[in-house]
Amino acid sequence: MEKVVIVACGSYMDSGYGCPGEWRCLKAAAMGDGHFEGPSQVIAFVKCECPGRTLAPNTGMAIKLSEIKPDKIYMSSCMVNAKPGCPYADAQEMADIIEKKTGIKVILGTHDYT
- Binding residues for ligand SF4 (CB under 6 A): 9-12, 48-52, 79, 86, 88
Give min distance, CB of 94 to ligand SF4, in A: 7
Spatial separation of the C-alpha atoms in residues 39 and 41, rounded to whole Å: 7
Contact 86/10 with Cβ under 8 angstroms? no
Give min distance, CB of 39 to ligand SF4, in A: 26
Nearer to ligand SF4, 4 or 98 (CB): 98
Reduce the DSSP state of residue 106 to 3 states and report it. strand
Contact 89/52 with Cβ under 8 angstroms? yes
Nearer to ligand SF4, 6 or 86 (CB): 86
Nearer to ligand SF4, 3 or 60 (CB): 60
Spatial separation of the C-alpha atoms in residues 39 and 53, rounded to whole Å: 30
**What DSSP element (H or E) covers 101?**
helix 91-102
Nearer to ligand SF4, 2 or 54 (CB): 54
Give min distance, CB of 32 to ligand SF4, in A: 25
